[in-house]
């Protein structure tokens, strides 16, 4: 597995799993962990990705980069990582970041469906 979690509370594990299920279902991305972790792309994949066209600024950025790279036919490797629950401080994941990620995934899914529909419509 690309992701292993050490010492996470049950609520954090459930939240992470739910986020991944949502992204897998809605965007149909083929990755073990769509929402976090390390990924290795070829240099040309990232060079050809027009960063100025990306809409995200927070946690959704990883999902958006992954979706576009896969859409354009690039492959990637997931690098195993172990997340450990922090000992001090608070999470940076607040309501706004969760809302941005949910809206971003929904909008990206609609955009991908629309493009697929238009592409298939032109074949007929």
| Strand ranges for the chain from DSSP E | 3-6, 38-41, 76-79, 81-84
Q: Which residues in 71-95 are b (16+ Cβ under 10 Å) and which e? A: eeebebebeeeebeeeeeeeeeeee
* Predicted model pTM: 0.75
Alpha-carbon distance of 5 to 82, in angstroms, equals 6
The string of pLDDT tens digits covering residues 7-43 is 777 887 888 889 889 998 999 888 888 887 788 988 8
The string of pLDDT tens digits covering residues 90-101 is 666 778 888 888
Quote the pLDDT of residue 50: 78
């Amino acid at each position: 597995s690309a992701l292993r979690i050490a010492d996470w509370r049950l609520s954090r594990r459930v939240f992470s799993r739910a986020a991944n299920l949502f992204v897998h279902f809605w965007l149909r991305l083929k990755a073990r962990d769509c929402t976090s972790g390390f990924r290795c792309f070829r240099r040309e994949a990232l060079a050809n990705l027009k960063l100025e066209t990306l809409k995200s600024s927070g946690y959704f950025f990883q999902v958006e980069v992954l979706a576009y790279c896969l859409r354009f036919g690039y492959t990637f490797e997931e690098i195993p990582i172990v997340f450990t629950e922090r000992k001090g401080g608070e999470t940076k994941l607040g309501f706004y970041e969760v809302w941005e990620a949910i809206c971003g995934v929904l909008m990206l899914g609609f955009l991908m469906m629309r493009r697929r529909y238009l592409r298939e419509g032109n074949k007929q």
